Amino acid sequence: MPELPEVETTRRGIAPHLLGVTVSRVVIRNPSLRQPIPADLDLTLSGRTLQSIRRRAKYLLLAFDHGCLLLHLGMSGSLRVIGLNTPPGKHDHLDLEFGDRVLRLRDPRRFGLALWQPGAEPHPLLGRLGIEPLDDAFDGAWLYRASRGRKTPAKQFVMDGHHIVGVGNIYASESLHSARIHPATPIGTLGPRRCARLAEAIRQTLGAAIEAGGSTLRDFVHSDGKPGYFQHRHQVYDRAGQPCPQCGRTIRVMQMGQRSTYYCPGCQHR
DNA sequence: ATCGGGACCTGCTTGC
DNA sequence: TGCAAGCAGGTCCCGA
C-alpha cells in the first residue's frame, strides 16, 4: 500500500490519539516481518510514554525517552488506532496497547518492520537515506547536481531511496508524466530546466496526495477505508490502454527494474 | 561506483 | 468451478 503520502497520512491520523499516552502492554502475535520484531518489546515499552511521532522517508519513528520504535509498512502494511479488546484479524501481527486504545499493525505480506533503537542515535537503516522530496533543499538545482554522470533511467533514479526517499512506483510514474519526461530517459541527460520540472512535479504530486489523504483523517480511527487519495484517479498509473487525460494518446505500460511503468507516448519524451 | 536481478511473503485477479 | 500463473503500492543484498 504505502507510498510516502499514506505514511504521512497515517502519522497524522494516529498521532492525536497517542501522543503523551503511556504504553500499557505490547502484544506480538507474529514476529516474522522482514526482520523479527524484538521479542522483549513489551518489556522495553511498557510504562513508557510516547513523546513524538515523526516520519523519515517511509519510516514512522515513535520516540520514547529511552529510544525509538521504527515502523515500516512495507507493501501491504497499515496502522489503526482501535479500542482495547477489538478481536485481531489473521494478519494483525503487533499491538501497542495504550490503556483503553490500541495501535495495531496489520501486514499481510509481512514486508514491514518494527524495530527498536535504544538511546538517541538514529537507527542504522536511516543512515543511508536520500533527501526528503518535500524539504526545501530538494529542487531542480539539487536534482541537476545529484544526477550528473548517471545513466540510470529517470524512473529508477527517482525511486532509489539512496537519492530521493518516498517516491514509490505510483508517484514515480505520475511525476514523470506531469513533468513530460519519458521514464527511460537517462537521468544524467536532463538539463537544468527539465530537472526543475521533475523536482517540482514530484513535490506537487506528493503534496497533493497528502492533502487528499487529509480529507479522510477523521475516518482514520475505527475504519478500514482507504485514504482518499487512493481512490483518486491517477493520470497514468494503472491506466494502460486508456486515453491520456492531457493529450488523448493511449497510455502504455512497460517493465522497468521489475516494476510496471506507465507513461504517455504523446506527452513524455526522452 | 553503478546497475540489474533475485529474494522476502500473501492475496487477489486472470485465463485456461 | 477449479487451478495455476501472474501481478501487487518496498527494500535489501548480491554479483557483474
Q: At what angle do helices A169-179 and A192-214 cross, to 10 degrees?
A: 130
Q: Could you say which architecture CATH assigns to the domain A140-263?
A: Orthogonal Bundle (1.10)
Which residues make up the CATH 3.20.190.10 domain(s) of chain A?
4-119
CA of A44 to C1' of C9 (A): 32
| A263 CB-contact burial (10 Å; exposed 0-12 / middle 13-18 / buried 19+) | buried
Would you give per-residue pLDDT tens digits along chain A (270 residues)? 688 998 999 999 999 999 999 999 999 999 999 999 999 999 999 999 999 999 999 999 999 999 999 999 999 999 999 999 999 999 999 999 999 999 999 999 999 999 999 999 999 999 889 999 999 999 999 999 999 999 999 999 999 999 999 999 999 999 999 999 999 999 999 999 999 999 999 999 999 988 887 555 444 444 445 554 555 679 999 999 999 999 999 999 999 988 999 999 999 999
Provide residues 226-265 of A with CB closer than 7 Å to any strand B atom: 257-258
Which residues make up the CATH 1.10.8.50 domain(s) of chain A?
140-263
CA of A113 to C1' of B13 (A): 27
Any residues with CB less than 8 A from the CB of A75 and at least 6 apart, and which?
A1, A109, A111
Q: Are A142 and A126 in contact (CB under 8 A)?
A: no
Instruction: Dig out the grid coordinates for A129 from the structure.
Output: 537515506
Q: Are A95 and A85 in contact (CB under 8 A)?
A: no
Any residues with CB less than 8 A from the CB of A147 and at least 6 apart, and which?
A157, A187, A188, A190, A195
CA of A253 to C1' of B14 (A): 17
CA of A255 to C1' of C3 (A): 27
Q: Which nucleotide is nearest to A188 (CA to C1')?
A: B2
CA of A258 to C1' of B4 (A): 9
Which of strand C's nucleotides are less than 7 A from any protein C-beta? Answer: 7-12
Among the listed residues A157, A152, A169, A151, the one whose alpha carbon sits nearest the alpha carbon of residue A261: A169
Q: Which nucleotide is nearest to A91 (CA to C1')?
A: B10
Query: With a 7 Å cutoff on the CB, does A150 touch strand B?
Result: yes
pLDDT of the residue at A140: 96
Which of strand B's nucleotides are less than 7 A from any protein C-beta? Answer: 2-11
CATH topology of domain A4-119: N-terminal domain of MutM-like DNA repair proteins (3.20.190)
Q: Of all protein residues, which has its CA closest to the C1' atom of C8?
A: A75
- The string of DSSP letters for A46-73 reads TTPBP-EEEEETTEEEEEETTEEEEEE-
Place of cell 483523517: A217
Residues of A catalogued as catalytic = 2-3, 58, 259
Cα–Cα distances in Å, from A85 out to A30, A39, A95? 18, 22, 11
DSSP conformational letter for A232: S
pLDDT of the residue at A233: 74
Q: Which nucleotide is nearest to A227 (CA to C1')?
A: C9
Q: Which nucleotide is nearest to A112 (CA to C1')?
A: C10
Q: Are A263 and A183 in contact (CB under 8 A)?
A: yes
Indicate whether this model's pTM tops 0.75. yes
DSSP conformational letter for A23: P
Instruction: Please name the helix (run of DSSP H) or strand (run of DSSP E) that holds residue A11, with its range, or none.
Output: helix A4-18
pLDDT of the residue at A224: 46
Instruction: Dig out the grid coordinates for A175 from the structure.
Output: 511525476
